[in-house]
Amino acid sequence: MTLHIQTFIDRIQGCDARGMKDFTMSMTDAKNLHADITKLLLQLQKSQETTQKPSEEVIKIQVSGGSFK
């Protein structure tokens, strides 16, 4: 897990444990979290594209009766 996502999770858990109703974060923290989420989504998309590529292997089958007529 990335640093900024883990920090966000820890802060949410801390606020929840203290029974806080509101949570705010600085714009810098929000941008860092946004960057980490975007990187993860791009990695996921790239991973899905590489695993879902159809096979480009061509299989050629030739059936011959030989000298049979």
Q: Which of 27, 28, 29 is nearest to 12 (CA)?
A: 29
Q: CA 27 to CA 33: how far, in whole Å?
A: 10
d(CA 10, CA 56): 46
Enumerate the domain spans of the chain: 3-40
Residues 38-64: pLDDT tens digits? 999 999 999 988 886 666 778 888 877
Distance CA 15, CA 32 (A): 20
Mean pLDDT of 20-37: 97
What pTM did the predictor assign?
Answer: 0.68
Q: Up-side HSE of residue 53: CA atoms within 13 Å toward CB?
A: 9
Question: pLDDT, tens digit, for every residue of 4-19?
Answer: 999 999 999 999 999 9
pLDDT of 69 above 80? no
